[in-house]
Amino acid sequence: MEDNKIVQEDMLGCSWKGCFLPLAILWASIMIALKVLDLLWWKPKRLEEHFAEQGIRGPPYRFFVGCVREMVSMILEASSKPMAPRTSHNVLPRVLPFYHHWKKIYGSTFLIWFGPTARLTVADPDLIREIFLSRSDVFERYESHPLVRQLEGEGLVSLRGEKWAHHRKVLKPTFHMENLKLLIPFIGKTVLDMVEKLPASGEEVEVDVSEWFQTVTEDAITRTAFGRSYEDGKAIFQLQTQQIAFAADAFRKVFIPGYRFLPTRKNKNSWKLEKEIKRSLIGLIGRRKEQPDGDAKDLLGLMINASSTPDVRYRAPTAATSKTPPPAAAITVRDIVEECKTFFFAGKQTTSNLLTWTTVLLAMHQDWQERAREEVLRVCGPHGVPSRDHLAKLKTVGMILYETLRLYPPAVATIRRAKTEVELGGRRIPRGTELLIPIMAIHHDATLWGDDVAQFNPARFADGASRAARHPTAFIPFGLGARMCIGQNLALLEAKLAVAIILQRFALRLAPTYVHAPTALMLLQPQYGAPLLFRWLAHPSDRSAAAAHSESFL
Ligand code: HEM
């Protein structure tokens, strides 16, 4: 009997116990392989079929890469040539070539694949209203890649749920107009200092405005964030600028898994900077706490106040409130560090992009430059910094800013994620599906804006933003609903003020070296910079000086 058992074990080549481990490993490997195959092949194929049954099609899913390869090659091809003619505003095929191409084949709602992740592209304003307004409870902001979060900070832009609601409520007072108007003299002074560095002679000077405006917007966001601690804030933001450069470098190496954790020289420098930023902020918070200011409306002051007096809604629940959500953690130093990063990132580039495209468009469209200057001189006079009352009366400048935001929205798209299975426009959207909302495509849709959709025509905004198109949600440069841009009033105030101060003093035209090539690198950028020629108007009210200058290279 015993001999028999030994013979059987020998026949199997091992004992039962000795075999179990390799078999278990084999079994686990098969299960993992099947799971991976399910994630990378069967699930995308099931989803593709699910959408196809409901009439939603798109480019076919390819194993692992989805349709990223086609997208990248379309983007590279489009960005290899500048716009032709050089004043064309038909920029959608250059900026979002994959959207432009696939929309022609599959219609405005279609499915694309970011690797194995399904992204439903939605550009119908009725559906957009559902996503951002009526069903916003089931469509959440999607979680961006950790490297993007490292760049933009883990603040308001990327927070979700209770923590987002708490931070938004705490920070909102900063952006009330009553508070923002206090910034006007400071922002005005920064712009004045900058324009005064340009030669006050009849000579033209070339300025790359895409670089130049960053000084204005950086200064504005520093004052908004740090208020009376402006100088300390400036030093902290300088450290963050360096850190963003390291994070941007790591972002370019996104294809090396775990790169951001490797102790490379750049990563070590970035970690060192992180510590330094934190130390500086802790020091600054300490100093502010020693001289408390209950009325502080700068972002730092509001966060310090909120960190010592948590919102009552977020206290630990009592028996009576046991069904209320768990308390949101009080605002910590890390939260403050992350919010500073977020506001710096969200507030600086976006607004400098708006100013860049606005001045490029004014340089291209001398007739509108003239009309705007006429208004600025009439309302504000030729000298000094315009006041809040002046700014409120600059209707033409306001229309020009809106038309710029329509044609050249700094944020060209945004993304949402379905939290649960949900019905949208009569179609079933599975949980986890991402929705890509191509803001720029909606702004360039002729069915919403009319046949002159690709023309620069600020007059379409004469009756306000909500009446400019055939649909009230066709104009969404700042997003829509609860997560709409918190900084939009600041952005428009800064832009109006800077444009007014420039038009009071200078005539603008495109430099001969200007190449019209808008491209989306996180935000809408001029691919080769934006060199403009500035010429001092000796007597700004002298119409002929400006008119003589308006002969441009167009
Ligand atoms: C022309 C300038 C600007 C444009 C075009 C712009 C655009 C946007 C858009 C489209 C969103 C919504 C994103 C989404 O729904 O997924 C947003 C959100 C946000 N923006 Fe802006 N923005 C601008 C200026 C600013 C400024 C100056 C600040 C800060 C001072 C700022 C801070 C933020 C923040 C914190 C959020 C997130 C809000 C939340 O989720 O509660 N933005 N912005």
Atom number of ligand 1 nearest to Cα 171: 35
| Ligand 1 atom index nearest CA of 343 | 29
Whether 554 shows a pLDDT value over 50: the answer reads: no
- Tell me, rounded to whole angstroms, the distance of Cα 73 from its chain centroid: 23
DSSP state of 90: -
63 has a pLDDT exceeding 90: yes
Atom of ligand 1 at shortest distance to CA of 484? 12
Q: What are phi and psi of 333, to 5 degrees?
A: -60, -40
Mean pLDDT value across residues 296-310: 80
- The pLDDT score that the predictor gives to residue 543 is 41
- Would you state the pLDDT for residue 315? 40
Confidence grade of residue 16 (pLDDT, cut at 50, 70, 90): low
Instruction: Determine the pLDDT at residue 552.
Output: 34
| pLDDT (average), residues 199-223 | 91
Q: Give Rg (Cα) of the chain.
A: 28
* DSSP code for 66: B
Measured by CA distance, the residue closest to atom 1 of ligand 1 is 351
Report which protein residue has its CA nearest ligand 1's atom 19.
Answer: 485
pLDDT tier at 102, thresholds 50, 70, 90: very high
CA distance 362 to 546: 13
CA 347–ligand 1 middle distance (angstroms): 7
User: 314 pLDDT exceeds 50?
Assistant: no
Going by alpha carbons, the residue nearest to atom 37 of ligand 1 is: 157
- Do residues 289 and 304 touch, judged by C-beta distance below 8 A? yes
Asked whether 410 and 352 are in contact (CB, 8 A), the reply is no
Which tokens go with 417?
């994620």
Q: Give residue 486 CA to ligand 1 midpoint distance, Å.
A: 6
Distance CA 217, CA 244 (A): 16
Q: Which residues pair with 521 in a beta bridge?
A: 523
Cα 484 to ligand 1 centre (Å): 7
Residue with tokens 């196809």: 52
Give pLDDT tens digits for 479-501. 999 999 999 999 999 999 999 99
The string of pLDDT tens digits covering residues 427-463 is: 999 999 999 999 999 999 999 999 999 999 999 999 9
| Residue 257: predicted pLDDT | 64
Residue 448 CA to ligand 1 centre (angstroms): 24
CA 354 to ligand 1 centroid distance, Å:
12
pTM > 0.95: no
Q: Which residue in 340, 319, 338 sits closest to 329, CA to CA? A: 338
Closest-lying ligand 1 atom to the alpha carbon of residue 155: 35
Q: Whose CA is nearest to atom 7 of ligand 1?
A: 478
Tokens of 388: 């809040």
| Residues 6+ away with beta carbon under 8 Å from 198 | 205, 207, 506, 534, 536
Burial (CB count within 10 angstroms: exposed 0-12, middle 13-18, buried 19+), residue 6: exposed
Closest ligand 1 atom to residue 482 Cα is 41
Q: What is the DSSP string of 161-185?
A: HHHHHHHHHHHGGGGSHHHHGGGHH
Could you give the CA distance from residue 95 to residue 202 in angstroms, rounded to a whole number?
37
* Rounded Cα–Cα distance for residues 427 and 51 (Å): 8
The protein residue whose alpha carbon is closest to atom 16 in ligand 1 is 414
Residue 342 Cα, ligand 1 centroid: separation in angstroms? 10
Q: Which of 164, 223, 350 to mutate to test the pocket of ligand 1 (most atoms within 8 A of CB)?
A: 350
Instruction: Report the percent of the chain where pLDDT is more than 70.
Output: 88
How far is CA 497 from each of CA 151, 322, 377, 492, 504, rounded to the nearest angstrom?
Answer: 29, 50, 13, 8, 11
- CA 157–ligand 1 middle distance (angstroms): 8
Quick check: 167 and 492 in contact, CB under 8 A?
A: no
- Ligand 1 pocket, CB under 6 A: 141, 156-157, 168, 221, 224, 342-343, 346-347, 350-351, 354, 410-411, 414, 477-479, 483, 485-487, 490-491
Region 355-379: mean pLDDT is: 98
CB 307 within 8 A of CB 328: no
Nearest protein CA to atom 15 of ligand 1, as residue = 479
Residue 485 annotated in ligand binding = yes
- Tell me, what's the pLDDT at 253? 64
- Nearest ligand 1 atom to the CA of 221 is 30
Q: How far is CA 170 from the centre of its chain?
A: 21
H or E stretch including 369? helix 366-380
pLDDT, mean of residues 289-311: 78
pLDDT exceeds cutoff 90 at 204: yes
How large is the angle between the packed helices 265-290 and 230-252, nearest 10 degrees?
160
Does the pLDDT of residue 326 top 70, yes or no?
no
- Ligand 1 centroid distance, CA of 410 (Å): 10
With DSSP H G I counted as helix, E B as strand and the rest as coil, what are the percentages for the chain, rounded to 5? 60, 10, 30
pLDDT on residue 329 = 63
CB atoms within 10 A of CB 436: 21
Q: Is the pLDDT assigned to residue 76 strictly greater than 90?
A: yes
372-376-379-383 Cα dihedral, nearest 10 degrees: -170
The strand pair at 414-418 and 434-437 is best described as antiparallel
Q: Which residues contact 26 (CB under 8 A, 6 or more apart)?
A: none
Residue 532: C-alpha distances to residues 74, 86, 322, 359, 427 (Å): 30, 14, 61, 8, 49
End-to-end CA distance of the chain: 101
Q: Which residue has the tokens 């959408």?
A: 51
Whether residue 320 is predicted with pLDDT greater than 50 in this model: the reply is no
Assign 264 a pLDDT band (cuts: 50, 70, 90): confident
CA–CA separation, 243 and 237 (whole Å): 9
For 20, 331, 382, 410, 411, the CA distances from 521, given in Å and listed in that order, are: 53, 32, 38, 10, 10
Closest Cα partner for 393 from 372, 412, 424?
Answer: 372
- How many angstroms separate the CA atoms of 285 and 395, rounded? 41
Average pLDDT, the chain: 88
What is the rounded CA–CA span in Å between residue 99 and residue 477? 18
Beta bridge partners of 110: 121
